[in-house]
A = this chain, B = another copy of it.
Amino acid sequence: MREYSCVHRGRAEPLDLHLAMFLPTLLNQASPEQMETFFIPAWNLDIIGTYAQTEMGHGTHLRGLETTATYDPATQEFVLNSPTITSIKWWPGGLGKTSNHAIVLAQLHTQGKCHGLHAFIVPLRSMNTHIPLPGVVVGDIGPKFGFDEVDNGYLKLENVRIPREHMLMKYAKVEADGTYVKPPSAKLTYGTMVFIRSMIVGEAGSALAKSCTIAIRYSSVRHQSEIRPGEPEPQIMDYQTQQYKLFPLLATAYAYKFVGQYMNQVYHRITGDISQGDFSELPELHALSAGLKAFTTWTASEGIEVCRMACGGHGYSRCSALPDIYVNFVATCTYEGENTVMMLQTARFLIKSYQQASAGHQLSGIVSYLNESERRLQPQSVSSRPTVVNVNDLASLVEAYKLRAAKLVEVAAKSIQQELQKRVSQEDAWNNSAIDLVRASNAHCHYVVVKLFAAKLGEIGDTGVHSVLSTLALLYALQGIQQHSGDFLQTGLLSVPQLSQVSQRLKELLAQLRPNAVALVDAFDYCDEMLNSVLGRYDGNVYEHMFEWARRSPLNKTEVHESYHKYLKPLQAKL
């Protein structure tokens, strides 16, 4: 969501949730009358809002949220409460000190019945003095791993009354007498989640692209040690181990950027359908966005750290910018749906599709391979299968990834069946197969990424660009095979000699990419102001600027730091 931010490019800030959640939620869920009341003041920053969903005791599991909004027909108001300590709203950005309003998600009670989560606009602070309103206990939740500039907050509501018109009523409604009117479709709220998760996939590409830019530029500035005795110290980029760390990540950054673009396109196409009442593609997109969000954020987070450590000691300094990229990006593994939960959501869709395919249904869309595999993965002699895959041909590798995914979905489905045969409940069978389910989702997402990368190549006309991106795509596919070689061997998709071939080919691709590596990160086109990294400077003038950066350290304001007079000198006197 940081792409929205207007003050510091690329950095989180207190108004992020106002811009990325409060305003869009108004747009999507406010009635025309509510738009009139709230939108212009919010646009003008008189109303500064945030989106308060997560509570201390519940995050991803939305049904567990405890905040209540009880309708009182006598006054035509909702009464909001945080009934327990765990129900205190926790984490919303800008909630602690900045916002004067929040969209609060609460369990709606009216006429003695609970109708589940609904959204309410709750004024938090006086528009004149910014002092919290009666019944509103609000504050900052304290220091975090990253997001230093954001006042993530807590909110405890004690009999806070808001007018009936403050419930967002574009879809669901509560009438003056308390009658509840259902929304036309429960799936509508999916849309926003899908949109945000597809944004995060693109962000995974960007965060990794920035990190690769820094590490690859620095690796061609830094000289160290020796390869050949007597010769000058080589650029550290010339070490095969350095190439093996960075180039697959470079390929991954390109892959995720393409996947992010694709998901954005699909989202916009599907929202067109949705606005015409066609929800048919939504479950697939929902499942895909959940899994890909998890898949890309996990690998990108790890990749940022690999980039940081590839810069040696100086990567640890905040002058490299990599520590900040990491702490801010890694939060995406947890927010907007915890990654393991996301993977299991995708798995649910895969298993359902697998069962449909097994029952003879023809599947459409990205999971249609589960039909195909039903036919192709029948037992056959192990030795005959590997010949199918050509490790030098991307299309053939896409096929291998597909069959791996199909096989692992099957393994997970069989694990569930076996558990059920032990007479455990459906739910326990699911939980007892969760490791296999996550593994299947991972394989599915990996297949989708490889497939989309390969598809992207078809859109590229320029021969030079096509050639180097083909190398990157091949590198991406082969490195994934090497990392998961067990899966490919186990399913009989590759033979042992082919795996040695993969290793050999990978080394060749690294050497082949070496001359283009800097150009490939320059092509991401991050200006120095955006990267904010001494190591990743475009001009390569690293060391002078590192010294300059260090001299500006807050501790260097005085030659003798106050701690000397305060602690050290008295301590020396005592001993």
- A interface residue numbers (CB < 8 A to B): 44-46, 48, 54, 56-61, 64, 85-86, 88, 90-91, 96-98, 129-132, 139-146, 151, 154, 223-229, 233, 238-242, 244-245, 301-302, 305, 308-309, 312-313, 315-319, 323, 327, 330-331, 333-335, 338-341, 344, 425, 427-428, 431-436, 438, 482, 484-490, 492, 496, 499, 503, 506-507, 543-544, 546-547, 549-556, 559-561, 563-564, 568-569, 571-572, 575
Q: Which one of B309, B331, B434, B485 lies within 8 Å of A333 (CB-CB)?
A: B309
- A569: chain B residues within 8 A (beta carbon): 130
A569 CA to B489 CA, complexed, in Å: 64
Across the interface, which residues of B come within 8 angstroms of A547, CB to CB?
56, 85, 88, 154
A451 to chain B minimum Cβ distance, whole angstroms, is 22
Return the contact of A550 from the options B141, B496, B571 (Cβ within 8 A). Answer: B141
Answer whether A142 and B56 are a contact pair too, CB < 8 Å, given A96-B555, A228-B427: no
Query: Which residue of chain B has the shortest Cβ distance to A298 in the bound complex?
Result: B309
Nearest CB to that of A308 among chain B residues? Answer: B145
Chain B contacts for A129, CB-based, 8 A: 560
Contact at B319–A142, with CB atoms within 8 Å? Answer: yes
**In the complex, chain B residues whose CB is within 8 Å of the CB of A309:** 330, 333-334, 339
Closest to A436 in B: B503
Distance in angstroms from A209 CB to nearest chain B CB is 21
Q: Can you list 11 pairs linking A and B with CB atoms under 8 Å apart? A: A45-B571, A64-B233, A97-B555, A97-B560, A130-B569, A131-B559, A142-B553, A227-B431, A245-B340, A305-B330, A485-B487
Closest residue to A343 on the B side, CB-wise?
A: B241
This chain's copy number in the assembly: 2
Q: How many Å from the CB of A60 to the closest CB on chain B? A: 7
Residues of the B chain whose Cβ atoms lie less than 8 Å from the Cβ of A228: 425, 427-428
Q: Cβ of B556 and Cβ of A139 under 8 Å apart?
A: yes
Contact across chains for B312 and A338 when beta carbons are under 8 A apart = yes
Contact status B240-A91, CB under 8 Å: no
A228 and B146 alpha carbons, distance in the complex (Å): 36
Q: Are A244 and B435 in contact (CB under 8 A)?
A: yes
New A-B pairs, 4, CB < 8 Å, besides A59-B224, A241-B435? A85-B543, A141-B317, A141-B550, A240-B434
How far, in Å, is A327 (CB) from chain B's closest CB? Answer: 8
A48 to chain B, nearest CB (A): 7
Residues of chain B within 8 A of A486, CB atoms compared: 482, 484-486, 488-489, 499
Q: Point out the residues of chain B lying under 8 angstroms from A499, CB to CB.
A: 486, 490
- Chain B residues positioned under 8 Å from A431 (CB to CB): 227, 238-240
* Contact assessment for B96 and A48 in the assembled complex, using a CB-CB cutoff below 8 Å: no
Q: Tell me which residues across on chain B come within 8 A of A330, comparing CB atoms.
A: 305, 309
Q: What separation, in Å, do the CA atoms of A239 and B563 have in the docked complex? A: 49
With known contacts A45-B572, A140-B555, A56–B543 Cβ distance under 8 A: yes
